[in-house]
Amino acid sequence: MARTAADQHKFSTLEHDDLALRNWLIERLRIMPDAVSIIHASNDGHYTRLPYIESKETWDPRKEPWFSIAVEDTDTAHYSVTNDIFTHKERVLTISLPVIDGVDGSNDGVLALNLDAEKSEAILNATYPPMKSRTFVMTKEGQMVISPGYNIADSTLQAIARNANAFRGEFFLNGYYYFYRTIGPQAWFVVQEVAESEMKQLVRHGSIKVLYGMVLTQVILLFCWWVLRAALNTIYMRITNGIRNGTIKQTAVEELLFEEIHSAQQRQEKIAQDALTDGLTGLANRRAFDNDAERYNGLANTHIAMIDVDNFKKINDTWGHTVGDVVLKTLAELGLRLRGLENITLYRYGGEEIAVLFRDVSVEKAQSYLEKWRISVHTRSFREADLRVSFSAGLCKMGGASLSDVVAQADQLLYQAKKTGKNKILAG
């Protein structure tokens, strides 16, 4: 503002009570609602004060502390507490600045802005910091400038000033934390004073949530530990029992785990295998047949045989179902034993009917296998002296027709075999 004043007004050539200067000053005053007056004081002692108040006393602004300080230092604002003789106010906050001519650098007096101290106190009082505290303005020498009614001992103010001059940032003094900022070139301090108890309460309040979080985490950890401990106890008990009973040897935990995983794998494989195996005969079951036959029917040089025990009803009726079961088991055993080749698979198709799939096996070889099997079944002696077992079979090539048609063809050959005397294999 002082610089603009110097640019816009030729103070050295100004008439006293220059109207342009008065208008300029009043405009500045209007835009600062907290300022009570604005003064331009010339080096010859003449002054222009707005708002204009006639003073009975002769007043020489050059005797004011703000004038001499501002003239001495050329470029920075000065803050001082003065007595306004025009309004008879004892405490006015004055911010003063020298007016320097921008062309020749000469000093064209001082511009002073007076602020109402009470208003400033009210403003300070209305600032609500995030915690309970006292905020005040003091000089760097330790005198109170603006204090909204606080009673702070001079010795305390001086100690604050000493600390504030010596440090940058906050400090602790006699049970209070002090935070401060400087106004102007280290002239005044705006100080915020917070009691230690207030600070502790704030910290306590802030840390209570963290504390709850930590307690919760501890509880969760404790629970996890408890669950883990229970699980480990069970494992230890099982290992101990195993060692005691001699079912497992005292080996490293890794070995025990490996064994456990291995046996679990074996269990899984067995379950999968059981799902595809017939319980009575140990042959692959109907589900396995359905899985494989569809696949085989698309391959070259594959054959299918449908086998049916002859007069099985009679066997059951004569010797009972248990013997009937033994017959079925024996038939399966012999078929498996004679098969030799890995690519001949036997399935219990249903009841006393067995299906055989030949993969990459010629019809001659398939027929020869079935013959050997038929003869060994027929010549087999059972505990029941009169029991003679035989089977009939229909053998045909796979592929070239749908699976159901292929099965029907094999069944038809089997039916022919039965019709023409049983105990024979018909190939088609």
Ligand X SMILES: Nc1nc2c(ncn2[C@@H]2O[C@H](COP(=O)(O)OP(=O)(O)OP(=O)(O)O)[C@@H](O)[C@H]2O)c(=O)[nH]1
Query: 89 or 388: whose CB is closer to ligand X?
Result: 388
Least separation in angstroms between CB 363 and ligand X: 24
- Distance of alpha carbon 25 from alpha carbon 46, whole angstroms: 15
Name every residue whose Cβ is closer than 8 Å to that of residue 35 and which is 6 or more positions away in sequence.
Answer: 29, 113, 114, 115
Answer yes or no whether residue 411 interacts with ligand X by CB under 6 A.
no
- Distance of alpha carbon 191 from alpha carbon 194, whole angstroms: 10
DSSP three-state, residue 346: strand
Least separation in angstroms between CB 343 and ligand X: 27
- Distance of alpha carbon 230 from alpha carbon 238, whole angstroms: 12
Asked, as a colleague might, if the bond just before 130 is cis with ω within 30 of 0, I would say no
Residues 214-253 that bind ligand X (CB under 6 A): none
Query: 191 or 425: whose CB is closer to ligand X?
Result: 425
Answer yes or no whether residue 308 interacts with ligand X by CB under 6 A.
yes
Answer yes or no whether residue 108 interacts with ligand X by CB under 6 A.
no
Using DSSP bridges, classify how beta strands 425-427 and 391-397 pair: parallel, antiparallel or unpaired: parallel
- Distance of alpha carbon 335 from alpha carbon 358, whole angstroms: 13
Let me know if 64 is exposed, middle or buried by CB neighbors in 10 A (0-12, 13-18, 19+).
buried
Least separation in angstroms between CB 300 and ligand X: 32
Query: 205 or 321: whose CB is closer to ligand X?
Result: 321
Query: 116 or 278: whose CB is closer to ligand X?
Result: 278
- Distance of alpha carbon 391 from alpha carbon 375, whole angstroms: 9
Residues 318-357 that bind ligand X (CB under 6 A): 321, 324-325, 328, 351-352
Least separation in angstroms between CB 386 and ligand X: 17
Which segment (20-28, 283-291, 314-322, 354-362) binds ligand X by CB under 6 A? Answer: 314-322
Query: 213 or 351: whose CB is closer to ligand X?
Result: 351
Let me know if 220 is exposed, middle or buried by CB neighbors in 10 A (0-12, 13-18, 19+).
exposed
Q: How many other CB atoms are there within 10 angstroms of residue 357's CB atom? A: 24
Contact pattern for ligand X over residues 262 through 301, marking x by CB under 6 A: ------------------x---------------------
Q: Of all residues in this chain, which one has the CB nearest to ligand X in the complex?
A: 324
Least separation in angstroms between CB 333 and ligand X: 15
Which segment (26-34, 95-103, 170-178, 309-317) binds ligand X by CB under 6 A? Answer: 309-317
The distance of Cα 38 from the centroid of its chain, to the nearest Å, equals 61
Answer yes or no whether residue 313 interacts with ligand X by CB under 6 A.
yes
Answer yes or no whether residue 410 interacts with ligand X by CB under 6 A.
no
